[in-house]
Homo-oligomer: A and B are copies of this chain.
Amino acid sequence: MGRKPHKNDSLPGSLDMLILRTLSLRDLHGYGISQFIQQSSGDELLVEEGSLYPALQRLELNGWISGAWGRTANNRRARIYKITAAGTKQLAVETRQYAKLTLAIARVMGPE
């Protein structure tokens, strides 16, 4: 019965950062990225495939990640992504921005 994970709907704009962060830990394919985010969030975040794959294409177009066809540990055909140098910089930028934004929101929301 566990509660259903939140769709990322509730906090758009964070998906790119989460993907970059995941790939900063290890090279991974799309499906695996989705699973990592779900598991490492304590089953609270759910990345739908209809959001994931377009996001990966976006990130690759921006030069922040690069993908190549390969095989997973399960011997499955998959597109393995790795973060680029530009992507690493971008991750730092987004992480800083995110921290500033949540701090700003916290100021408005007050102490209680």
Contacts and interface: CB of A to CB of B under 8 A. Distances in A.
Given A105-B18, A108-B22, A110-B21, A11 B10 contact: no
Nearest to A101: B11
Contact of A109 (B10, B13, B21): B21
The DSSP consensus for interface residues of chain A is helix
So how many copies of this chain end up in the complex?
Answer: 2
A16 to B, nearest CB: 11
Interface residues of A, number: 30
Contact of A44 (B37, B45, B104, B110): B104
Interface of A: 6, 9-14, 17-18, 21-22, 37, 40-42, 44-45, 95, 97-98, 100-105, 107-110
